[in-house]
Structure 1
């Protein structure tokens, strides 16, 4: 099982068990130690993992819950809380332990949320703001990639530090935007007042503009969502036209259904449980753009299935070039093997990664064309 699968599996476990975890110790055992193991560290090896490590500056016997070690030096301190605890109340405790060690990174966690800190502003003094926040109940591919940097096999202190400041600033910008989008602050509103009034502003204008700015932001966001929906519907209409000409499917019925689809979905067959997403269409268009120089692009078609999206030649389920799988937390591209008896799945981070497999796609196209020509000639 690869790292991503381990993290996703742990995420699913947390979602199922969090309401039944009664103590901090249970949180450590059920959620936090499995995370440490997923990061490649042996929790039974004292050279890698030290529970209750001394972090005593005040002679009070202060101890950090866990320390990850490398070459007899702590590289990551982990302070643990019960899974229902609010972490906002405990960052100062971690900062105190941090100052008593030589570690460059510290983690405050309740097993559900992980906040990663560094000492970017002043070495050995923990920054006030984390540079990475990972919510195990709301994981993204980016979160998993950032976690992977702390894996024993990939850990590189300087690489992490080089990206930590950008991540830290990104978190703060997102937080600032969220707050101002919900309730525009004075300075945020003043910027727009000045832009629209020859760089003049006043308290009266700020109060006048604030509710208008809030409505305008909401309107812009809604327009962006609407544009995305319109693109999805247009793509679906294009698909319907193709389907009509080849299979005789009712155009009016399918287009009407498209109008009621959620954002990001361009076609849905409720009876068969098939959902075609905009991302799958985007992947299809990428493959077509790669292969159009080798074959009439009209021959490159697709057929969606319940568990994968297949791109083929001439609409045949037999002569397929590749398969696309897009899940909530991972994406994969599959290629035929052993004369279509098997297929090889390869993880991709984004749809743009498909361009990295241009040569493989060309080889698979040749196989599909060869099969198609053989069977057509045989008829």
Structure 2
């Protein structure tokens, strides 16, 4: 089972069981340990996952972090856990102390539902105040799953995670700021746009008016962009439906003859000297009887034109250009076996 499937399974478990989890210890057992396990670490191996890891700070002895994950004898991730009903906002300072004395470059604060990953982007060996990766396990997006997978035992690479952590952290913070401006534009945000379009003096009254205008304009712009995307998607879906309907109409007009099927059998008999007969397909159209490699329209092998007064075999050249040759009967196909076999080489 891949990590995406395991996360989905854990997500469903958390969602269905959390109301029954009454303590911090139960949270660890039911939610946090399974998360560590799906990252590929053996929770029963004390050289890999250490519970109650000692993290003494200065004169304070006996300080312990809930778990430390080790790799090659070095801690790579320390984890502090809380009861799932607790908010994590007031507990990061505790983890900061543990981070400072450990050799780990990463720390995780979790209540089994919310997960916050930290590192030391701003000052080495001092945990940042804000996490670079944050998610709720019951509401995972593919982009987040991709980031979680980087902590898997088989993928773990400190340098790669750190290189990406900065981008993740500041992108997340920018999105938060922008979302806040969408709800209520700040003076600086309003002034930026007002100065671009208004040539007069930006008085308090003017700024108040522009605050409303900026809020309205940006939200309308986003709405228009979303509608454009929806219309584009609907247009493509409509075009696809029309094409399918046209194909159905064309198919209903096609009458595959016994002669065409006999011709197909002759072509198969020739081509199977080079390829398995299961790879040879036909598609009958109103214009010709096409014979294809791997049922792919972009891999034509030859075409039979048998519905008119004269019969033709369409041979396919290297540039996929068709050359029609006159045949008296379908048995004449055998005389062109070299050209037919050559067509396979264009795709193999």
Secondary structure, aligned partner of 1:120 = coil
Q: Structure 1 residues 199 and 369, CA, compared in 2 at 3 Å: closer, same or farther?
A: same
Counterparts in 2 of 1:68-79, with a 5 A limit? Answer: 68-79=69-80
Number of equivalenced pairs? 266
Q: Structure 1 residues 216 and 27, CA, compared in 2 at 3 Å: closer, same or farther?
A: same
Query: What residue is the counterpart of 2:170 in the other structure?
Result: 169
Secondary structure, aligned partner of 2:121 = coil
Query: What residue is the counterpart of 2:295 in the other structure?
Result: 368
- Measured after TM superposition, the shift of residue 116 of structure 1 is 0.6
Contact residue 193 and residue 200 of structure 1 kept, 8 A: no
Alpha-carbon distance in structure 2 between the residues aligned to 1:199 and 1:112: 52
Q: Does 1:41 align with 2:26?
A: no
Query: What residue is the counterpart of 1:238 in the other structure?
Result: 239
- Measured after TM superposition, the shift of residue 201 of structure 1 is 3.6
Counterparts in 2 of 1:1-379, with a 5 A limit? Answer: 1-57=1-57, 58-198=59-199, 201-247=202-248, 366-369=293-296
Q: Provide structure 2 residue ranges, at least 5 long, that are not aligned to the other structure.
A: 252-276, 280-291, 307-348
- Measured after TM superposition, the shift of residue 103 of structure 1 is 0.9
Deviation larger for 228-237 or 60-69: 228-237
Contact residue 150 and residue 157 of structure 2 kept, 8 A: yes
Q: Structure 1 residues 194 and 107, CA, compared in 2 at 3 Å: closer, same or farther?
A: same
Q: Structure 1 residues 220 and 73, CA, compared in 2 at 3 Å: closer, same or farther?
A: same
Query: What residue is the counterpart of 2:273 in the other structure?
Result: none
Alpha-carbon distance in structure 2 between the residues aligned to 1:63 and 1:198: 62
Q: Extract structure 1 runs of 4+ deviating beyond 2 A.
A: 197-206, 239-248, 369-374
Alpha-carbon distance in structure 2 between the residues aligned to 1:20 and 1:214: 44
Contact residue 193 and residue 199 of structure 1 kept, 8 A: no
Alpha-carbon distance in structure 2 between the residues aligned to 1:109 and 1:52: 15
- Measured after TM superposition, the shift of residue 246 of structure 1 is 4.1
- Measured after TM superposition, the shift of residue 11 of structure 1 is 1.4
Alpha-carbon distance in structure 2 between the residues aligned to 1:236 and 1:120: 45
Alpha-carbon distance in structure 2 between the residues aligned to 1:38 and 1:198: 59
- Measured after TM superposition, the shift of residue 94 of structure 1 is 0.9
Q: Aligned-pair RMSD on alpha carbons? A: 2.8
Alpha-carbon distance in structure 2 between the residues aligned to 1:107 and 1:191: 38
- Measured after TM superposition, the shift of residue 152 of structure 1 is 0.9
> What is the CA deviation profile of residues 311-346 of structure 1, one whole-angstrom value per residue up to 9, with x for unaligned ones?
xxxxxxxxxxxxxxxxxxxxxxxxxxx969xxxxxx
Q: Provide structure 1 residue ranges, at least 5 long, that are not aligned to the other structure.
A: 249-297, 300-337, 341-364
Secondary structure, aligned partner of 1:64 = strand
Alpha-carbon distance in structure 2 between the residues aligned to 1:193 and 1:126: 39
Contact residue 293 and residue 300 of structure 2 kept, 8 A: no
Contact residue 47 and residue 70 of structure 2 kept, 8 A: yes
Contact residue 194 and residue 200 of structure 1 kept, 8 A: no
